[in-house]
Copies of this chain bind each other. A is one copy, B any other.
Amino acid sequence: MPIYLIRKLDTFALLSDEDRQILQELASKPRYLGPRQNIIREGDNPEHLNVILEGWAFRYKCLKNGRRQIVALLLPGDLCDCHINGMRRMDHSIGTLTSVRLAKISRSRLEEITTRSPRIVQALNMDMLVASAIQREWTVNVGNRVALERLGHLFCEIFLRLRQIRLADGTSCALPLTQVEMADALGLTSVHINRTLHALRNMELVSLKNRQLTMLDLPGLQQASLFIPDYLHLGLCERQSRSADTENALAFA
């Protein structure tokens, strides 16, 4: 069940029960990958659309000088490939961070879906716009913020994105990234991430142990990181509570 995809799209458009049913059928033949594996490599020819049903992954590019830049984080419910038609060759790779469950959606299947539900198309479009907005914000993050702001900003973004799909528990969420991976995502070194993390802890803004991130002071962290959540377009998130109610109601029916 692509439960996280449904939850996310639900914040982008008013899905009907039929829409949800259509999305449910997606996850028929899931594919499993272990942690630190490649889902697809730069140069590969993407044949179908992959959706992350469960687990974390990331887009990255390797440079000639040997360094690696992580350009995006893919969370449960995120679409892997630059969807719809067109891309002949991947210009970047996608790797897993944790164990990942993937749904493969063929092109024909996708077309079928889009003809059956315009609302799903709308929600997918919105999702794509948000993904672009996040990418722009990452450019801002590495271009214009110092280490402490960058790391704090990343934490804020991850936390809010996970909360959107109800994978945050109060003020905590998972964070299965090593310091090396944070460094590669933020254009810093792991040594400096380490020191910066200590600074954030000393300021009592976050705590991070056993891959569990706790936001001790979310407003404080947002301010310290120059984080403004607008770009995530979570505007409809108050609907979350409503759909949570509906979901519960169904569960108890």
A residues lining the B interface (CB < 8 Å)? 12, 59, 61, 63-65, 67-69, 71-72, 82, 84-89, 91-92, 122, 125-126, 128-129, 131-133, 135-140, 142-145, 186-187, 226, 230-231, 233, 235
User: Closest Cβ of chain B: how far from A219's Cβ, in Å?
Assistant: 14
Q: Is the CB of A69 within 8 A of B140?
A: yes
Chain B residues with CB under 8 A of A137: 61
Q: Are B72 and A122 in contact (CB under 8 A)?
A: no
Q: Is the CB of B235 within 8 A of A88?
A: yes
Contacts of A64 in B (CB 8 A): 226
Q: Which of B63, B122, B139, B187 contacts A226 (CB 8 A)?
A: B63
Instruction: Report which of B82, B142, B231 forms a contact with A132, defined as CB distance below 8 A.
Output: B82
**Closest CB in chain B relative to A225 CB, distance in Å:** 10
22 A-B residue pairs with CB within 8 Å: A12-B86, A61-B137, A63-B226, A67-B144, A69-B139, A69-B143, A71-B140, A85-B122, A85-B125, A85-B126, A86-B122, A86-B129, A87-B129, A87-B233, A88-B233, A89-B233, A89-B235, A91-B230, A92-B231, A135-B135, A138-B139, A139-B139
Instruction: Report the copy number of this chain in the oligomer.
Output: 2
Give the distance in Å from the alpha carbon of A65 to the alpha carbon of B69 in the complex.
Answer: 26
Q: For A68, what are the chain B residues with a Cβ–Cβ distance below 8 Å?
A: 144
Q: Are B91 and A139 in contact (CB under 8 A)?
A: no
Cβ distance A145 to chain B, nearest Cβ, rounded Å: 8
Q: List B contacts of A88 (CB < 8 A).
A: 233, 235
Tell me whether B126 and A86 are in contact (CB under 8 A). yes
